[in-house]
Each structure stands twice: as C-alpha cells, then as structure tokens.
Amino acid sequence: MAKFPTTSASPSESSEQDRILVEQALAGKEDAFSQLMQKYGKALYHHIYRMVRTKGEVEDLVQESFIKAFSALSSYSSDFAFSTWLYKIATNHTIDYLRKRKLPTFSIDKPIQTKDGNLEYEVPDITYRPDRHVVADQRRQLIQEAIDSLPEKYHRVIVLRHQQEKSYEEIAQELDLPLGTVKAHIFRARKLLYKYLREKRETL
C-alpha cells in the first residue's frame, strides 16, 4: 500500500481545497482527483479496515471506492464535506461487498468516529436526491462501459475479481497464470479504468 501524506490544513481550509480539486477534476484537470486520492487514501484505508480486516481486500475496496467516487463526482455537492461523501461511498460499497461475500460482519448499530463527526453505517444513499436511482444507474453504466473498454487480458481479470468476486488465487488457478501476473493485470486494469473515466468525463 502506498504511503499517503496527511494534511495539516484546518477543516475550512481543507474543505476549500477539496472544492477546488473537485471543480478542477470535473473540468478535466488530469491530476486533480489524484490529489484527492493522495489526501484521503490513508484515511479511507483505515476507515474500511475497521470493517474488513484482510489487508489485500481493504486495498481493493479503497481503489474501487475511489473509482465509484470518480464516476459519481458530478453528483457531489459542496454543501457536504467531500470526506463525508467519500466515506459514505466507501461504507456502502464495503457493506455490499460483505453481504455478497457473506464474510464476518460488524455492528451497524454503532457509528464510526471520523474527523467530521460520527458516521452511521446504515446509510441508504450518498445524499437524498429525487433522481438518485437514475444517477446510480448512470454511474453503473459508465463503470460497465469502462470495464468493457479494457483489453481482453485485463477485462477478464477485472470481471473475475469485481463482478464474480473471485480471490486472486482463484483467478490465477482459473486462468492458469502466476499469482503475480494476476495482481499486475488487475493493477494495470484499474489504471486504465481511471483513464477511461477521466477521458469520458472530459467529453461530457
């Protein structure tokens, strides 16, 4: 896991930095969202680790949460703290993952403490929006388009990992590939997904 720098900015200063970076990302500035990932990557890792105790799985969930956040960035409102919005995306994604995998879960009755206050686990959606189902469908469609655009060798590992939810070891066995090759392909595939989503956003 890469080391992520912490920020010493005050909450209001930090929020203003986030607002500017979101605007820049939506305008097509290539490294703006990467700066948000650098800023919140470590915090998001620890947030998810409280729910899923397997480090490899946590790293995957962090990356997937950032992909979801990037694809939904146009729905973010600066009326809310970006960190809270991001934590909710990550929380919902992790809950879905735990339910699908039927892994040992955690208590959702107890809120988690974040720097922005208590965050409840049972969050039905990111924020209330009358068109939230439409937005969610559009986000899923965009991510599916990104997956479909991948070269075959990357497409198959992403499908097996994130749609069929197989472990790295299961993928390596099914495709008769070294474990290191599988991990490298998945890492490269995620970079291509970010690239596709960024380029797609620039054309919208």
Name the residue among 165, 4, 12 with its Cα closest to residue 93. Answer: 165
The tens digit of pLDDT for each residue in 113-129 reads: 555 555 544 444 444 44
- Pairwise CA distance, residues 5 & 144, whole Å: 31
- Quote the pLDDT of residue 130: 47
For a pLDDT cut of 70, what percent of the chain falls above it? 75
- What confidence tier does 47 reach under pLDDT thresholds 50, 70, 90? very high
Lowest mean pLDDT among 9-18, 37-46, 152-161: 9-18
Asked if 58 and 46 touch (Cβ cutoff 8 Å), the reply is no
**Which residues, other chains included, contact 188 with Cβ-Cβ below 8 Å and sequence gap of 6+?**
154
Asked if 119 and 111 touch (Cβ cutoff 8 Å), the reply is yes
- Quote the pLDDT of residue 98: 85
In the block, tokens 């969930």 appear at: 61
- Quote the pLDDT of residue 48: 93
DSSP 111: P
Which domains can be identified in the chain, with CATH numbers?
Answer: 1-127 (1.10.1740.10), 129-204 (1.10.10.10)
Q: What is the pTM of this model?
A: 0.65
- Mean pLDDT across 168-192: 90
Name the residue among 26, 35, 31, 40 with its Cα closest to residue 71. Answer: 26
- Quote the pLDDT of residue 79: 84
Mean confidence (pLDDT) of the chain: 78
Asked if 135 and 129 touch (Cβ cutoff 8 Å), the reply is yes
* Stronger pLDDT, 166 or 104, i.e. the higher one: 166
